[in-house]
Amino acid sequence: MNVTDVDNRPRLGQIVRVKRGRDVGMYAIVIGRDDPHFVLIADGDQRKYDRPKKKNIKHIQVTRAVNQEVADVLRVAGRVNNAKLRYALNQYLLKMKQSEQKGE
């Protein structure tokens, strides 16, 4: 991923999967950007909004899913509650699980 290409950088509200570090395999939502190489992620459970994880974008796998509700709240209010993050991730994981079962 070319970090200088703004179109390929993770957007606010985008769901990502952690590829490196202590939280490998965890899904989270991008709640902020820091420098060209880093994003702030939170899941509302282990990583709360108040204490997000700063991750190098090379260490995350970006999904195509963007939770528009979370993105809108972040743009308007500048903050989102942890329950909304948990709900958005649960809905995404349920959809993923259902699509896997249909594929079998």
pLDDT in tens, 49-71: 999 999 999 999 999 999 999 99
pLDDT at 41: 97
* DSSP characters over 17-78: EE-SSTTTT-EEEEEEEETTTEEEEE-SSSS-TTSPEEEEGGGEEEEEEE-HHHHHHHHHHS
Q: pTM above 0.85?
A: yes
Question: How is the chain split into domains, by residue range?
Answer: 6-99
Choose among 94, 78, 1: nearest CA to 40: 78
Would you give the DSSP letter of residue 23?
Answer: T
- What kind of fold does domain 6-99 have according to CATH? SH3 type barrels. (2.30.30)
